[in-house]
């Protein structure tokens, strides 16, 4: 067996590879060897993909530029802290109560939806898996994700506001209902990506399922869970319709979530943009810019948290 591979010294081994390379010229590796049709198709596809990116990015850029140019004029620190002028005609700051309201209401909604959503996702992916209850929950959360936000607002209006009146908390309930399916589905997706290897490693060391989830699965999935939750928060922060039924649109600051009508940036945009006064419209633009910056800030925080918890 070994004799057949060893060639006599000094002479190249006669093999099939060498004989073909002597008779055939090496195939060219310059661009000309690729057919015209293929090159045309390649260029077309590249151009189309580039155009698609452009078409997708242009509206986004326009919205940003427009909001900044319109809202930038009134936006300053006083705008964020001063109360809303009693007379809508009067120019000047601010949107303080709406900023506070958005932070409070969205914060309360987050406190309700995120823990519940993460627990539901843990149940779905780690315990329920393919059983009927899990399938039903998955189906319902998909349906819930598709419910228009105004319907969610009406729902909270009938079950809560009619009995207890408008309050920031009622708004938070409506937003939490909107956030819940987003949190559930994004968290479940991330949990599913945690490799089985890690669960097995933990189990093989004598960890119970609950322990494995708390100490291995959730930490491994944390960056993804965080960004999923932040996406839900950003979505909720911009919602207007469900708030109109549940918190009202007052001008005064109301730090009490559980009593009395409240206000939020999105609600103020809605109200002020409809007013015939330039000053009010400008404040609406300023509120829009504030909202965008708020979401941007949340996204940056989420990125930082994710980066800190990701072990590479």
Binding residues for another protein, rule: CB under 8 A, are 129, 195, 197-208, 211, 215-216, 219-220, 310-312
289 neighbors 72 (Cβ within 8 angstroms): yes
Closest distance between another protein and the C-beta of residue 221, in Å? 10
Task: Please report how close the Cβ of residue 227 comes to another protein at its closest, in angstroms.
Answer: 17
Q: What are phi and psi of 14, to 5 degrees?
A: -75, 105
Closest CA to 68 of 293, 238, 273: 293
Residue 132 Cβ vs another protein, minimum distance, rounded to whole Å: 14
Nearest CA to 237 out of 179, 279, 182 is that of 179
Q: Which is nearer to another protein, 40 or 205 (CB)?
A: 205
CA distance 51 to 116: 41
With respect to another protein, which residue has the nearer C-beta, 167 or 212?
212
Whole-number Å distance between alpha carbons of 56 and 19: 55
CB of 128 to another protein, least distance (A): 12
Cβ proximity to another protein: between 42 and 209 the closer is 209
Question: Least distance from C-beta 222 to another protein, angstroms?
Answer: 10
Of residues 21 and 215, the one with the C-beta less far from another protein: 215
Whose Cβ is closer to another protein: residue 207's or residue 279's?
207
Q: Are 109 and 179 in contact (CB under 8 A)?
A: yes
Give the ranges where 84-131 is alpha helix by DSSP (H).
96-122
């Amino acid at each position: 067996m070994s004799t057949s591979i060893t060639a006599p010294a000094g002479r190249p081994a006669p093999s099939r590879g060498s004989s073909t390379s002597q008779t055939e010229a090496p195939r060219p590796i310059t661009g000309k060897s690729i057919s015209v049709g293929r090159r045309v198709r390649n260029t077309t596809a590249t151009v189309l993909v580039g155009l698609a990116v452009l078409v997708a990015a242009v509206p986004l850029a326009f919205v940003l530029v427009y909001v900044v140019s319109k809202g930038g004029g009134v936006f300053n620190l006083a705008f964020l802290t001063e109360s809303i002028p009693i007379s809508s005609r009067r120019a000047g700051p601010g949107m303080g109560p709406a900023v506070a309201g958005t932070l409070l209401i969205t914060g309360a909604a987050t406190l309700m939806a995120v823990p519940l959503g993460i627990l539901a996702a843990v149940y779905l992916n780690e315990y329920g898996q393919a059983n009927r209850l899990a399938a039903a929950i998955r189906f319902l959360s998909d349906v819930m994700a598709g419910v228009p936000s105004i319907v969610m607002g009406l729902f909270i209006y009938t079950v809560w506001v009619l009995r207890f009146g408008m309050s920031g908390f009622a708004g938070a309930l409506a937003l939490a209902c909107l956030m819940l399916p987003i949190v559930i589905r994004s968290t479940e997706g991330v949990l599913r990506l945690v490799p089985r290897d890690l669960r097995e490693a933990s189990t093989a060391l004598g960890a119970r399922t609950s322990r494995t989830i708390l100490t291995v699965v959730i930490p491994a999935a944390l960056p993804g869970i965080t960004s999923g939750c932040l996406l839900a928060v950003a979505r909720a922060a911009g919602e207007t319709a469900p708030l109109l039924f549940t918190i009202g649109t007052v001008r005064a600051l109301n730090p009490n979530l559980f009593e009395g009508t409240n206000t939020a940036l999105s609600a103020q945009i809605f109200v002020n943009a409809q007013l015939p006064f330039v000053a009010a419209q400008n404040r609406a633009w300023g509120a829009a810019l504030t909202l965008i910056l708020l979401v941007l800030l949340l996204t940056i925080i989420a990125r930082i948290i994710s980066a800190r918890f990701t072990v590479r």
